[in-house]
Structure formats: structure tokens, C-alpha cells
Amino acid sequence: MSRYQVALLCLGLLLMLLLYLGLPGPPEQTSWLWRGPSVTVLAGLTRGNSPIFYREVLPLHQTHRVEVVLLHGKAFNSHMWEQLGTLQLLSKRGYRAVAIDLPGFGNSAPSKEASTEAGRAELLELVLQNLEVQNAVLVSPSLSGRYALPFLMRSHHQLHGFVPIAPTSTQNYTQEQFWAVKTPTLILYGELDHILARESLRQLRHLPNHSVVKLHNAGHACYLHKPQDFHLALLAFLDHLS
């Protein structure tokens, strides 16, 4: 081979290497970190590359094709749904259940994406994509309304059901916007929650297909105060949906 040919070959190889490096990597994926007796902790990447953490239980015997995605309030993270037994109960009843650590809570780092309304809706959208959720029922207490409400307004067609529990951010949307959302909704709240529950109920009432369950003698975190009543109401709604 002449020097010219060698140079050409080297150039060709260099070009191939550059092309290879420039190709997009594998799609963002969910990988599991550890597997407990029933609950698996997973991490999925968001667009900003900050991992979001989930706690997932698979159905013991798959009897429903509905997946329950649980968000959390300001004082909590995904672990709460494990401590309360909600994840395990849903699995026993044949549902796949996933609890999420919102950015800045539990194992999930704070994320710049979460600073805008559109960013928060997109983040939830990516989470559902990561998890390959088809028929999601979104459970949204308190502060998580910051994520759930923008998502509901933009992507309600992706939701099989919605369970708001005195969520924040309902004031940000008009009556007409609520009317347009046909998603079956269970509005849950504690009898003793005089502020957020009432404020959100006034708005959520405009959702055309909703039912309301008030948990007696329970405050803002009504699922903690009356877990049995909460689980009964949630299961009745889910069983009716599927």
C-alpha cells in the first residue's frame, strides 16, 4: 500500500469512529436498583438527566390492566405508600402500583425542569413513558397537584382515572378547562381539612365525570388518618373502572 492509501484508510476509520460517537445513544430506560421481598426501587432518567426514583409492586396475580401511579405531598415521599401498605394492598388486588419520588424528595434530586408548569407536566409524561404505563390512574395528594393538574389539563387522554386528594394548583385553571376533562375522577378529602380540601373541591367539581368521598374525622393527609377508609374508597373506584 502506498502512503497515500494508508492515509486514506486512516481517514476512513476516523470518519467511522466520529460517526459512531455521534449516533444517539440507547433510549432512556428504567433500571432497577434493588428488589425487596415485594417492592422494587427503580430509577428512570428524565430529559434533564436527573434520575427519578420509583417504588413499584407488580400485581400478585394480574387481574386488572390498570396501573396506579401515586404521587405524594410535601412532608412525604414514595416510601409513605409502602409504610401505609397501599402498594402491597394494590398488588394483592391484582393492580400494578408505582409510587414516585417527586424531584427534591426521597431519592430524587431537585430538577430545573420542575420549575415551570410545562416542565412539570412533561416530567410526569416522561415518567409514564419510562414505566410503560398504559392505563394509568393518577393519585395526587396536596403539593403534587403542581404536577398532576398541568398534566391533567394537557394529557388527560392518557389517564384512565384521576384521584385528587385536596391537591394544590386547582386555582390555576378555569371552569371551562375542567369541563373539557372527561377522565373518571374520584375526589377524596378529609372532613377536617378546611382550607385546601374546600378550595380544591370548588374547582374539581367542574370535572364532568366525578364522584366525591369525604373521609370522616380525617385531616388534610386523610389517607394517613383513615387508611382503611381510604383504601376501601380507592379500591371501589379502581374495581369500578376496570
Ligand X SMILES: *[C@@H]1O[C@H](CO)[C@@H](O)[C@H](O)[C@H]1NC(C)=O
Q: Answer yes or no: 242 catalytic.
A: no
Do residues 217 and 224 touch, judged by C-beta distance below 8 A?
A: no
The answer to whether 117 contacts ligand X (rule: CB under 6 A) is yes
The answer to whether 241 contacts ligand X (rule: CB under 6 A) is yes
Task: Compare residues 41 and 152 and give the one whose CB is closer to ligand X.
Answer: 152
User: CA–CA separation, 56 vs 222, rounded Å?
Assistant: 22
Residue from 209, 217, 232, 236 in contact with ligand X (CB under 6 A): 209
Helix (H, G, I), strand (E, B) or coil at 113: helix
- Please tell me which residue in 111, 140, 142, 144 is annotated as part of the active site: 142
- Please tell me which residue in 193, 210, 225, 229 is annotated as part of the active site: 193
User: CA–CA separation, 160 vs 178, rounded Å?
Assistant: 16
Identity of residue 194? H
The answer to whether 174 contacts ligand X (rule: CB under 6 A) is no
Nearest residue to 217 (alpha-carbon basis) of 229, 235, 232: 229
Least distance to ligand X, CB of residue 169, Å: 4
Task: Compare residues 88 and 155 and give the one whose CB is closer to ligand X.
Answer: 155
Q: Total residues contacting ligand X (rule CB under 6 A)?
A: 10
Task: Compare residues 57 and 111 and give the one whose CB is closer to ligand X.
Answer: 111
Number of other residues whose CB lies within 10 A of the CB of residue 216: 11
Task: Compare residues 45 and 241 and give the one whose CB is closer to ligand X.
Answer: 241
**Non-local CB neighbours of 167 within 8 Å, separated by 6+ positions:** 140, 141, 142, 143, 144, 145, 148, 149, 196, 200
User: CA–CA separation, 45 vs 120, rounded Å?
Assistant: 14
Least distance to ligand X, CB of residue 32, Å: 32
Number of other residues whose CB lies within 10 A of the CB of residue 109: 13
Q: List binders of ligand X among 221-240 (CB under 6 A).
A: 240
Q: Answer yes or no: 193 catalytic.
A: yes
Q: Answer yes or no: 79 catalytic.
A: no
Helix (H, G, I), strand (E, B) or coil at 13: helix
User: CA–CA separation, 171 vs 175, rounded Å?
Assistant: 10
The answer to whether 146 contacts ligand X (rule: CB under 6 A) is yes
The answer to whether 191 contacts ligand X (rule: CB under 6 A) is no
The answer to whether 169 contacts ligand X (rule: CB under 6 A) is yes
Residues that bind ligand X (CB under 6 A): 117, 146, 150, 169, 172, 182, 184, 209, 240-241
Indicate which residues carry an active-site annotation: 142, 193, 220
